[in-house]
Structures are given as C-alpha cells and as structure tokens.
A and B are shown apart, each in its own frame.
Chain A
Amino acid sequence: MDHFMHPRNVGEIPDADGVGQVGNPVCVLSDTLIYGNSDIKEIERIAPGKRVLGHDGKYHEVSKTFINNYAGKIFNIRVHNLGSSSTTPEHHILAIKTSPYAHKFKAHKKLKPDWYRAEELEKGDMILYPIPKETQDIDSIEFDVPKPKWDFKSRDLPDRVPVNADFLRLAGYYLSEGYARTQKCKGTLGFVFHENEIAYLTDVIFIIKRLFGLEPSSIKNQHHACVLEFYSARLARFFEKLFGKGAANKSITHWAMLLPVEKQKELICGLWRGDGYLNNKTSKFVTISKQMAFQLRQLLLRQKMIFSFLTAKAHGMHEESYLIYIKEDASLKKLAGIVGDKIVRPPKMKSPIKSWFDDDYFYAPIRAIKLTDFKGKVYNLEVEGSHSYISSAMALHNCGDIMKMFIKVKDNIITDVKFQTFGCGAAIATSSMATEMIKGKSLDEALALTNKAVAESLGGLPAVKMHCSVLAEEAVQAAINDYLIKTTGKGLPGYKPHDESLHDEVHGH
C-alpha cells in the first residue's frame, strides 16, 4: 500500500541512458501501408505532422512516431477483399467478432464493433474498414500554368477550368490512357485508345473542345490502337501537375478525392473506361500505379461498391501491377451504371453474405491469420483525435504506452531510475517497488529481478493483478535492452519484449 500511496522514483530522466516502453508493444511492420491525405505510404516513411486517415474516416495529424526493436510473434492477418497487414499480438484492430455465431449470418450485422487485439481475432471475424468521410466540393480550379513570355502563337486557354462531369471524366481518361510530354517545343497531351474504343476517343475530343477550345492536332492508327494528340505544352503541364505523368507515377490530386460522391462517379467512369474491363460475369481494373490503385479503392468505398484488391507481378518490364475486381451483383450493376455499359446478368445463386457496407464502414471477413516469429524493427504512430490509423487492410488503434522506465547507468551500475505509468494501482505499486529494488544494482542483478520478487516485497498481489506486476519487470528489461543497444549496438541476448511464458507462470499458481 505504501508504494501505491507514495510511489518512489516517479518522473522522467531527460538524458536517460536507456528507456524502456512497455504495456502495449503495439506495432506493425515497416512496410505496412498507411493512408495519408493525398497518398499511401509505408509507415516507416511517415513523419510527425503528416495527416493520416483515422477509423472515423477523417484525416488527423500524426503527433509522434515510434520505432521499437521487437523479437516475438507477428500476426499476419489477411482480410477478404482488402489485403493483409502484419501486427504485434496486442495491436488493437477494429472488428466484430462473428466466430461465436459462425452460421448466423443475419445476426452478424447486429454485433457491436470493438477494438480487438490481433491475437484475439479468428478466421471469419469481420474487419471494419472506414469509408473516407471528408467531402469538399469545388466548382472550378485555376488554370495555373502561365503562358511563357516567348510564346506568341499558342492558343489562349481559359483562366479557370470548371470541375464538372466533363473535366472529371477527362481526368479519368488521362489517368488511365493519357500521357503528357512537357519538354520544350514538344509539349503534347496525348491519349491512346484501343481501336474498339473509338467512342471514348470521341468523348475526349468533344470534352477538350468544350473545356479548352482545342482541336486535336493528330489522330493516328498504330497497330490496334488509336493515338490522339493535342499540341499544347500548357495543357500537358496542367495535367502533369494534377495527376502526375508516366503510367507508374500517376495519382489523383487530393481535392478530387474529397469531391462529393456523386461527382466522383465521372472520375471512376473515365478511369474504368481506360484501364478497366467489364462484362456480364466480372469486372477488372489493372494499373501499375500503386498510388492510383489505392486511391481508386477509396473512391469505390465511397460508392459502397464491394471490390477485391490484388497485387500481382505483371509480365514485362514493370515490377508489380494492381488489380481490382468487382464481382458482387449490386456493385457490378452500380459500376455498369457509372461506366455507361448495359450489362444483363443472370441472377446468381444466393451465397452467404461475405462483405457488406453500413453508413460508416465496409465490413470484410478475415480470411487467414498466419503466425510468424519476427526479429527486427516495428513501427507505430500516435494520432491526434482519432487515435487510430488505416493500413491497406484494417483500422489500427494507437494505444499509447502504459509504462515507461528511464535508467541512468555508470560502470554497469544503475545509478538512477524513474518511471511513468498510465496504469492501475498494482502497476503503480509494482513499478515503484521495482525501481527501488534495482537502484544501485548492477545490470545483471536488475535483470534477475522477477515480478514474483516484486510482488512478494509488496506483501503479495491478488491473482487478477499479477499481470500488472509483469509490466514492471518488462519495463526494467526493456530499459536495459535499450541501453545495451545504444551503447554496444546489440540488445539483450534472447530478449523478448513481451514474454507470454511469464504470464503463464504468474497466472499458473
């Protein structure tokens, strides 16, 4: 009680030699893709200040980033339709637990979502994936590519361009089939269509005439393709600025991602007419631009269309290509409406509901969970407001640390130690006692400290609270491990940040 009432060694050591953070080693692997505003990026490349999508479908600022050394189990969770992410066992994931009601599909929609630890989830449980919510309509944008001084002959282009159905469909065509040459004297905006897509080519010609007053400079047949070109460096630069250039580097400018759902249909229309394919059975979209593929997923989520996302090695020169399939009846019908194709499809056998939408989320089942041993760096973010972020497969919570321990070390002796905790009474008392017990001791002596010894010094702990005493022990080990990494480059041999066997031991008796 005394250690709880009057905890010793509370606080921070700003110039600590080792810092141990435990409680929630909630982290993901370095290559986990995170949705930010305007792009999707590996978590290791995200810095504080960046805005990322939260589980509420809105963008929030990252206040802190964390890198931890981790050795232990990693859960790779593969989600139907979306993809997979790898997390540490205790990372909280937004889901509903349907496995207890495996054959009651109708009951699933009534279950309450919650944050579950990765290790609690099972195959069949439903992941909640947020529909991007932020909407901002724009009527027109400035044509912000000035005329060069020496340019006397090029045609006048409008000062503003309306953001209407025409423009958005054209943007879709450019993103999928267009190219921009912006070198001096060769400025060209071009489109390549298959010979049986002449209707789309005509659409482009009329849109550009309506929006910019330009006529095509050339229309050529090459093999089975038709190449349409407009000689205008300014127009080419304008499109490059908004949507990138080169098939692998194109992406949708951020404001277009925020347009009202109804308007975005035109963008999808242009994109799908270019890079997509649609028939009575299925529909497929292929691109080699990673950004665009992940952006299109967001557009489809906003339309509440169920898709399947795949990454595949494409033959030829490109590294990877991204495939989006739409097979579900209602979604396929919606897509046909958007693209302007009539498809007549015989109703399929009714299969059990696999994925569905509500107002805020897309629900998709977990297909498989793989457990692997991992040793290396793992990452986490602290996000203001939503306290969550979105990977390519799920919404992840960013629970903060429950315990931090700071140590000062001189000649292998712990000269000072302090702790901070967001924890219950037992966590406070055990950390206070643990700091007292290791102060002035050698690193080896400190490492030999067990949670049992800490609990005994406190006069015992109730069984349900024993796990809190493990926190203190883990914090000491984490701090020493951090110190060793900082000084020798090598951590504790065989160090595991979160040792499950410890738990068995303490709960066993």
Chain B
Amino acid sequence: MKKIYLDYAATTPVEPKVVEAMRPYHSEKFGNPSSIHSYGQETRAAIEQAREKVARLIGAKPDEIVFTSGGTEADNMALEGVAFANETMGNHIITSSIEHPAVLECCRFLETRGFSVTYLPVDEFGVVSPESVRAAITEKTILVSIMHANNEIGTIQPIAEIAKEIGVRSSESGRKIYFHTDAVQTVGHIPANVDELGVDLLAVSAHKLYGPKGTGFLYVRKGTKLVSLIHGGSQEHNRRGSTENLTGIVGFGAAAEIAAREMGSEIKKMTPLRDKLIKDVLAKIPDTQLNGHPTLRLPNNVNFSINFIEGESILLNLDLEGIAASTGSACSSGTFEPSHVLKAIGLSYQLAHGSIRFSLGKHTTEAEIDQVVEVLDKVVKKLRAMSPLVKGGK
C-alpha cells in the first residue's frame, strides 16, 4: 500500500539537499563556534552564513536573528523576554484565543507573575479584527502577540493592519508597544517580510519548512528590549547561552535558501490542490463543513468538521488505509476535550470533536488527493453507520 502523508503542518521531511549540507558538520567540521582556533572559525562562518540565509527569507538583518531550539522556545523568548524587560513600562499583554499553546501557556504563566493578559476573541473564520486589538490596548500594554496563520484551521491574520493599529496607538501615547507574531506555519510557505508585516518579533521553526527538528529562531528587531532566558554563555549576542546547534542551524540555513527559491511555485501548485480537496470532500460527504476562512488560508491547510463521528476514529481509520492526517479531538487519559481553536470559532462540542486536518506539502500529488477523498468517504460512511448521533440510525 502506498502511504500518503498529509500532515505537513505537524512536521515535514528534511530535504535531501539539506541533509547533504548538514553532513560535514557532524564529525568533519565539528569545532565549537565560540573557539577562536581554525576549527571554531570554520563553524562560526557556517553559522553566520546560515543566519544570513534565514534573515534573507524574512527580509531581516542577520544580527536580528536569534537561533533557538525551535518555535516554542522562540515564542517563549519573545513573550517572557519582552514582558520581563519592560515590566516598568506596563504589565498588559494582548493575544488571541486561538494561539498555539507555546504562546497561550506562556501568557498563563505570565499571569501568575503579575501580568494581565487579554485574550481576543475571533470571528467564525478565526480572524482577529485589527479594531479589537486597537480597542484592547491600554496605557499599560507592552506587547501584542498574534499568530501569522493558525496551525489548525489555517486562517491567515491581518498582521500588517494590526501592526498599523498598534503603531497608531504607540505613537499617540509615545510609548513603544511591541508586536510579536508566531510565524511557524507561514515562513517558507507564504511571503512573510518583517517590514511589510510591521512586527518587532517573529518566531520560526525549521522542521516546518523541510529543515531539521530542534532548530528555530526568533527575529528581534533592532532596539527591542529583551531579557535573556538562558544564561551561561555569550552566544547569540548575549541573548541565548548554550553552544549553538551547529548541524541544525546549518540545515536551517539550507532549508531557508530552498524555501526562498521554491515558495512561489509551491503556492501555485498547492493552492489548486487544496481547493480541489475542499470542493470534492464537501460535494461528496454530506453534513461536512470547512473550518477556517475560505480564502484567507494557508495554501496547504484543509480542516473539516465531519458531523456525528469522532475525529480520532477517523484518523485511525485513515491511518490504517495509509493516510496520515491530524485531528482537534483528543481522547486520552480520561478527558474528552476538543481543541481550543475549534471552540473559539464557535463550533459545537460535537462538530469540534469531528474535526480532521489535512495539510499538504511539496510532495503531494493530485492522485493522492483523489485517493484521500475516496478513502475518507468510505471511512465516514463506516463510522456514521455506528454512530448513535445519526438521525434515523443511518
């Protein structure tokens, strides 16, 4: 059976060219980049090269990049770093109710440390309105964090408009309000230029763009006040102690270079495939709805709610047919709670539990999409036949 991977939003396979680029940095060129001998100089140069490549991908300067262990650390660094560095200016943070846990959990933590957080609601498509951001800003606001695109439902937020509102309020009051965006799902997939977006901080992860796992970075605009969370070394301009993840960073650089080159053609290839999957499933399977925005969505994201049946059993059935997807329904250790994102866009308990996400990637083909629609239809029919919620038993 040929397997079909449609969970690229969870992680992507590392590009062979990226693996090649990383290979020499395991045992051949292994020096500690902080060492001043030739071993160290060699790897230092590799890291700085990678830094330039990832900086170019988002239109930043190389010294505005802080490499981290991944997207989650980058988000933590942004929120906690800015919050603690600017405590004296205010203690209010604004975010949305559909952020990734890397941001939400950070906010919950900051709440226990004397900060107050506003969790903005979203509309039925998962869009944060720039006006609501503007309205939520108080004289104590120091940071706004809104994700570039949602990982579950793929909705792309009006980041530039939000930045404009923040800028207006910032200059009115003469106080800087920092703007962070979690761009883990977008960088390398859709254009994300820090100046066009108007953000001060931006978090990226390598393994979502065909790079290695365990590597990410935080873009920090020059002049942003940030405290360091990891102490014990002067690496990354004193912003993050710890010997650099050399192979990971080199791989990240290589992946960023490829992404910059291929992004345009990938969007052109993936968008019609995404729309085909949406159209075919909605046409073929009754009582099914698309979650997220119909057009303002990632070119690779499709998220359905399939009424009357539970997401995890859909997922397992698809897996047995060789198709890998993801669900917002979790049935583990006794809890039966659907995803916070699906609840925030107003889905009922039942529909939120019946959600399934397909995320496409550069290796996805049209034949695979056809196969998925056919298998999904079969799986849904089978599960609905055993659901106590289907009217009339069938």
Contacts and interface: CB of A to CB of B under 8 A. Distances in A.
A112 B316 CA distance: 31
A284 interface: no
Contact of B349 (A1, A387, A420): A387
A424 B116 contact: no
Contacts of A251: none
Contacts of B118: 110
A198 B386 CA distance: 70
Interface of B is mostly: mixed
Contact of A112 (B97, B329, B349): B97
Contacts of A112: 97, 119, 340
A426 B316 CA distance: 10
Looking at B117, B340, B386, the one whose CB has the most chain A CB atoms below 10 A away is B386
A425 B313 contact: yes
Given A112-B340, A422-B310, A424-B313, A10 B331 contact: no
Contacts of B388: 400-401, 403-404, 420-422
Contacts of A106: 116
A390 to B, nearest CB: 17
A314 B17 CA distance: 84
B38 interface: no
Interface stretch (A285-293, A322-330, A460-468): A460-468
Given A106-B116, A110-B117, A424 B331 contact: yes
A422 B320 contact: no
Contacts of A1: 320
B387 A421 contact: yes
B320 A5 contact: yes
A107 interface: yes
Contact of A424 (B111, B312, B348, B349): B312
B168 interface: no
A419 interface: yes
A356 interface: no
A399 B352 CA distance: 12
Contacts of A101: 111-112
Looking at A104, A110, A426, the one whose CB has the most chain B CB atoms below 10 A away is A110
Interface string A92-122: 0000000001001011001010110000000
A333 B348 CA distance: 39
Contact of B393 (A12, A419, A465): A12
Looking at A7, A10, A112, A402, the one whose CB has the most chain B CB atoms below 10 A away is A112
B349 to A, nearest CB: 6
A107 B331 CA distance: 30
Contacts of A399: 349
B316 A4 contact: yes
B334 A467 contact: yes
A36 B34 CA distance: 72
A428 interface: yes
A302 interface: no
Nearest to B121: A112
B88 interface: no
B85 interface: no
A425 B316 contact: yes
A422 B331 CA distance: 11
Looking at B313, B337, B343, B353, the one whose CB has the most chain A CB atoms below 10 A away is B313
Nearest to A400: B389
Looking at B112, B116, B316, B348, the one whose CB has the most chain A CB atoms below 10 A away is B316
Contacts of B386: 7, 10-11, 419-421, 428
B228 interface: no
Given A106-B116, A115-B349, A420-B386, 4 more contacts: A4-B316, A4-B320, A420-B393, A425-B312
The 9 closest A-B pairs by CB, nearest first: A425-B316, A420-B388, A424-B331, A424-B312, A10-B386, A464-B332, A404-B388, A464-B333, A425-B313
15 contacts: A11-B393, A104-B112, A110-B116, A112-B119, A112-B340, A114-B343, A387-B348, A399-B349, A419-B386, A422-B353, A422-B388, A424-B329, A427-B313, A464-B332, A467-B334
